[in-house]
Amino acid sequence: METGYDLERIRRLARATSDAIEQLWSIVSDDPAAQDALDAVRLTRRNLQDHWMPLLGQIIASQALLGWNATGPVAARSGPRRSGRTDPQRRAQDRQLLDDLLLVLYDLTSHDPADRPTDTELQQLATELAERAHRSDTVADRLLELAGITPSLALLTSLADFPDHITVAALVGALLADEPVGALGTRHHLEAVEAAMTGLLDTPRAALDVLLVPGTLAALGTWELLDDDLVREFVVTALHDAVVADPTRRRDSYHVLAELTLLTGTTLDGGMQAGLARGVAASLVGYVDTLAPAIRREGGSEVLVVLDDETVVLGTYEQVTDLFGAILRDPVAQVSVGIAAGAYATAVVDARGVEIVRGSHLARVTRFADLVGDATRSEQAELVVAAAAAEAARRKLGTLVGVGVSVGLTAAGAGSLLRSATGRVVSAVADRLVDVEPGRMPGRAIPAAIYDVVTISAVALVVRDPALRAPLGLGGVTSTQWRGLADRMTGIERTDDPAERARQVLRLERHIEDEIPDLDHYLREVRDVENLDELTEDRRPGE
């Protein structure tokens, strides 16, 4: 495409554009019937302000046509470029390709379906553009420029293998774009965003890059028309899978969580899109081992997450509690938070081995349980979180905790393991709670459930591993008593009903207290940590 301009005409056009912007500003109406029309006026004004005026200004200020010398033009940008000299024929083909793209982008917004490009035409253009974007900086730069202007580019990037930075820019541009005018515009915009999000599910690092751009989380959290399941999958891909694939990115994901904490008190004050709440909750199992140690004091004190290379301020205790409160409004998210709490409690006990009676690791479990308890605002939610925590422990989901430990557990990857394991708990909890009335359970069920999980895990540890018994002072427990304990543990494990399981745990404790003093002493030592006994304050009556 030929490039050129007439400076005098450009100046006249700039004056006329400026006048038009002024006139568009003056159009106002408080009649609700005029809303669509006013939206169209606003979009027109924004286009003139954001695209026309800067370009006209650049041209007026440019020395390009005056600054030539014998050595040719000075390069517009420094740094290495992939293609030094491009074959003129190839350059012409790229220009033609970009012209075709502009036409297609224009046709995509047409109200007349007959004008819109066919799927085959779109696919063909996308494939060719993606191939060229990998090889030509000119094409890549133009696509980046367009990403900030039209959401339609996100639709194209979902159809072929574009460089990651272009796909990310296209989705970010589409998420941050102004709402379009009219039902068709909204549908097209939504279609483009959802297609681009689906396309990024195979590239977790790029999905995380999207969430790191300011404004994208707010867009996902407030756009109610977006498909819940897709948003959840996208968020899990970004916050869990990307970090499992590359644990050094945990720092980035914590920055995303810190922004979400801030948003909870502002933009998302009225609630967040269900998929976002579910995605964050499902990813939590990967964060709980670094988040729980950061929870130290209540109120206005900061929750400082200490990572290998950085300390991230997630927010104050109150703000983090509010974040959990917002997430826990969603019933599916409640199950995921329960899974994280239950899995974390078992993981801590299992990982400590003989050290279980020393150190303050269990205090982290209690602080996390307290935070979840503080954040849960309905009895039904308490019931769901507690049941999910117990179910996670019963299914031995401690291996899901953290990042870096789950890789290799399944050929399909840790993300797939997380989804299938949590999916089973979600179904189990949902099945069991469907007919349970909230009134059957007292408040603060979550800490009580975590207390039970710690008790069972601590007993299971020594029942399972005879080598730990002597070092833990349990050499005097007879083999008959161990067999009896193993039978009780199997019974508890096989009990589906959470209320019945809680009763069996209490019976087990009483049996130990009455019959096996050494084991009772061991359990007291395990529980001799800050706050653990407080978890039993409102423990439900067993009998």
Partner 1 sequence: MRLEQLAGDDTWRGLRPTLCRTLLATNVHQLHQAADDLRWQAWLFEQRADELDVIARQQLQTVHHPFGRVG
Nearer to partner 1, 147 or 417 (CB): 147
410, two tokens: 């399944």
Question: Could you give the C-alpha distances from 149 to 153, 154, 160, 199, 354, in angstroms and in order?
Answer: 9, 11, 20, 20, 60
Pick one of 39, 137, 161, 525: the residue that binds partner 1 (CB under 8 A). 39
Residue 267 φ then ψ, to 5° = -55, -40
Q: Which amino acid would we find at residue 206?
A: A
Q: Near partner 1 by CB under 8 A, which window of 106-114, 207-215, 367-375, 393-401?
A: 106-114
Angle subtended at Cα 22 by Cα 16 and Cα 26, rounded to the nearest 5 degrees = 140
Structural Rg of the chain based on CA atoms: 30
Mapping DSSP to helix (H, G, I), strand (E, B) and coil, where does residue 65 land? coil
Nearest distance from residue 17's CB to partner 1, in Å?
Answer: 6
Q: Please, which of residues 119-178 interact with partner 1 by CB under 8 A?
A: 142, 145-146, 149-150
Q: Is residue 34 close enough to count as binding partner 1 by CB under 8 A?
A: yes
**Stretch of 10-18, 71-79, 466-474, 526-534 contacting partner 1, by CB under 8 A:** 10-18
Q: Which residues is 304 bridged to in the sheet?
A: 313
102 forms part of the interface with partner 1 (CB under 8 A):
yes
The CA distance from 377 to 410, in Å, is 37
Q: Interface with partner 1 includes 26 (CB under 8 A)? A: no
Q: Which is nearer to partner 1, 81 or 111 (CB)?
A: 111
Binding mask 58-87 for partner 1 (x = CB under 8 A): -x----------------------------
Pick 19 or 437: Cβ nearer partner 1: 19
Which residue in 22, 37, 62, 68 binds partner 1 (CB under 8 A)?
37
Q: In the complex with partner 1, which residue's Cβ is closer, 136 or 203? A: 136
Angle 230-232-233 from CA coordinates, rounded to 5°: 65
Q: Contact between 223 and partner 1 (CB under 8 A)? A: no
CB of 388 to partner 1, least distance (A): 48
Q: Is the dihedral of CA 391, 314, 370, 378 positive or negative?
A: negative
Residue type, 35: Q
Three-state secondary structure of 497-521: CHHHHHHHHHHHHHHHHHHCHHHHH
Closer residue to partner 1 in complex, CB, 95/165: 95
**Block residue for tokens 């063909």:** 124
Q: Is 99 in the site for partner 1 (CB under 8 A)?
A: yes
Is 506 a residue that touches partner 1 (CB under 8 A)? Answer: no
Reference 125, options 102, 144, 109; nearest CA is 102
Is 179 near partner 1 (CB under 8 A)? no
Residues that contact partner 1, how many (by CB under 8 A): 44
Neighbours of 185 (CB within 10 A): 18
Of 179-187, 320-328, 439-447, 497-505, which part binds partner 1 (CB under 8 A)?
A: 179-187
Q: Does 181 bind partner 1 (CB under 8 A)?
A: yes
What value, to the nearest 5°, has the Cα angle with vertex 426 and ends 421 and 428? 95
Nearest distance, CB of residue 13 and partner 1, angstroms: 5
**Are 189 and 179 within 8 A, CB to CB?**
yes
Closest residue by Cα to residue 329 from 260, 274, 262, 391: 274
Nearer to partner 1, 98 or 201 (CB): 98
Shortest distance, position 29 Cβ to partner 1, whole Å: 10
Interacting residues toward partner 1 by CB under 8 A: 1-6, 9-10, 12-13, 16-17, 20, 33-34, 36-37, 39-41, 43-44, 47-48, 51-52, 55, 59, 95, 98-99, 102, 105-106, 109, 111, 142, 145-146, 149-150, 181-182, 185
